């Protein structure tokens, strides 16, 4: 890809490759060091280690950039045993650092400090400059079961998506729909899906030798067509309590969608499937207006679909605002579909909500 972000892309891909090594090392261990956060979502030693790795590597290359990430180091500071496990995991990458594929924090204290740069970081508004957003393990619930997960790296400029790089250790570079949480790449190679604003979406192998010549494959802009398209959904069925499952099902029926399509827990992987054409629509209505998306689950990854012609709004038809904070409080839910039929999908969602007496979810 010939884009103004070629250096950023090179650095981020190297960091994600090293991060994937860490995640795969942890995934084979029975005790993954799982703790629960306040929202009852799990976090593992891999989440902490990968966030520190991504931050250290990108900070070394771009020292003036800022960061937002899912985790803070509070649990590490309060638990010396957990802190030591995360630090020891990072030391597995000393060879990668020697080969300049990544950079590591110099001490456990610096590791905690870098994690906190992300954990207390804010995306800012239109004047925020360059901010990197990380989700070190998206899909931790499935990760701990040795199932699908993703490593999300995004670059925002003035709170607008300009670069997306997603590592998918469990997803084959030539995956075919439908895929689920248990769909694993039989080669163990995985893939990286990436996009730069205005330059399209690409896919390439994840785990390759540094000596191998890799030619990324550009994804056809499958969602740009003006002709009627068969809708192929991706969603998360019966694993999350945040969505209104009956509304989702009724919308599918009214749109004459006969198959559930791809079924994935991780939001980043849902955006990946839309980007690479394994699906072309998704909707999500939260049970309460107070529920919102979190920036690390969506930033950057949405660009993968937009670069192939997809349109993404909330259920009110508003563009997604990534500048309001760590929680995406300016929007409620998601409607993503090819541009030519997005209005039809959006109208169907709103009509079903009114018919079901759930107009309050439209605000």
Give the CA angle between residues 50, 52, 56 to the nearest 5°.
120
Sign, CA dihedral 254-258-264-268, equals negative
Q: Which of 203, 172, 236, 166 is nearest to 12 (CA)?
A: 166
Q: Which of 152, 198, 154 is nearest to 65 (CA)?
A: 154
For residues 175-196, b (16+ Cβ closer than 10 Å) or e, as one string?
beebbebebbbeeeebbbbbbb
Sign, CA dihedral 61-65-66-70, equals negative
pLDDT in 10s for each residue of the chain, 363 residues: 778 999 999 999 999 999 999 999 888 776 555 656 554 455 789 999 999 999 999 999 999 999 999 999 999 999 999 999 999 999 999 988 888 779 999 999 999 999 999 999 999 888 889 999 999 999 989 998 999 999 999 999 999 999 999 999 999 999 999 999 999 999 999 999 999 999 999 999 999 876 678 899 999 999 998 676 789 999 998 777 788 889 999 999 999 998 889 999 999 999 999 999 999 999 999 999 999 999 999 999 999 999 999 999 999 999 999 999 999 999 999 999 999 999 999 999 999 999 999 999 998
Can you tell me the distance from the alpha carbon of 78 to that of 187, in angstroms, rounded to the nearest whole number? 39
Alpha-helical regions (H) of the chain:
6-27, 45-61, 74-77, 80-90, 94-98, 108-119, 140-143, 245-254, 267-276, 301-306, 339-355
CB-side exposure of 2: number of CA atoms within 13 Å? Answer: 0
Structure tokens that stand for 26 in this block:
């942890």
CB-side exposure of 9: number of CA atoms within 13 Å? Answer: 21
The answer to whether 34 touches 85, Cβ cutoff 8 Å, is no
């Amino acid at each position: 890809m010939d884009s103004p972000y070629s250096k950023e892309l090179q650095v981020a891909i190297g960091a994600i490759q090293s991060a994937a090594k860490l995640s795969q090392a942890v995934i084979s261990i029975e005790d993954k060091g799982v703790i629960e956060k306040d929202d009852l979502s799990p976090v593992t030693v891999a989440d902490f280690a990968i966030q520190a790795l991504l931050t250290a590597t990108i900070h070394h290359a771009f020292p003036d950039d800022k960061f937002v990430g899912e985790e803070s180091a509070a649990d590490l500071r309060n638990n010396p045993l957990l802190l030591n496990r995360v630090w020891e995991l990072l030391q597995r990458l000393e060879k990668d650092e020697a080969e300049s594929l990544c950079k590591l924090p110099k001490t456990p204290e610096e590791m905690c400090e870098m994690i906190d740069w992300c954990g207390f970081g804010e995306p800012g508004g239109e004047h925020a400059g360059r901010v990197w957003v990380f989700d070190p393990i998206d899909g931790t619930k499935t990760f701990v079961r040795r199932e699908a997960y993703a490593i999300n790296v995004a670059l925002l400029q003035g709170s607008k998506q300009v670069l997306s790089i997603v590592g998918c250790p469990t997803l084959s570079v030539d995956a075919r729909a439908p895929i689920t949480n248990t769909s694993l790449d039989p080669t163990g190679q995985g893939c990286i899906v990436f996009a730069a604003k205005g330059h399209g979406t690409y896919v390439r192998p994840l785990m390759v030798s540094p000596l191998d010549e890799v030619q990324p494959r550009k994804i056809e802009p499958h969602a740009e067509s003006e002709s009627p398209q068969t809708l192929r959904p991706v969603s998360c069925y019966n694993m999350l309590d945040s969505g209104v499952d009956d509304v989702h099902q009724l919308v599918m029926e009214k749109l004459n969608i006969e198959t559930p399509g791809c079924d994935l827990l991780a939001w980043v992987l849902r955006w990946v499937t839309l980007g690479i054409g394994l699906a072309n629509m998704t909707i999500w209505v939260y049970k309460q207006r107070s529920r919102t998306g979190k920036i690390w689950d969506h930033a950057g990854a949405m660009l993968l679909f937009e670069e192939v012609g997809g349109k993404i709004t909330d259920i009110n038809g508003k563009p997604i605002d990534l500048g309001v904070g760590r929680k995406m409080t300016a929007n409620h839910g998601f409607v993503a579909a090819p541009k030519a039929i997005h209005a039809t999908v959006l109208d169907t969602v709103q009509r079903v909500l009114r018919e079901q007496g759930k107009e309050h979810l439209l605000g």
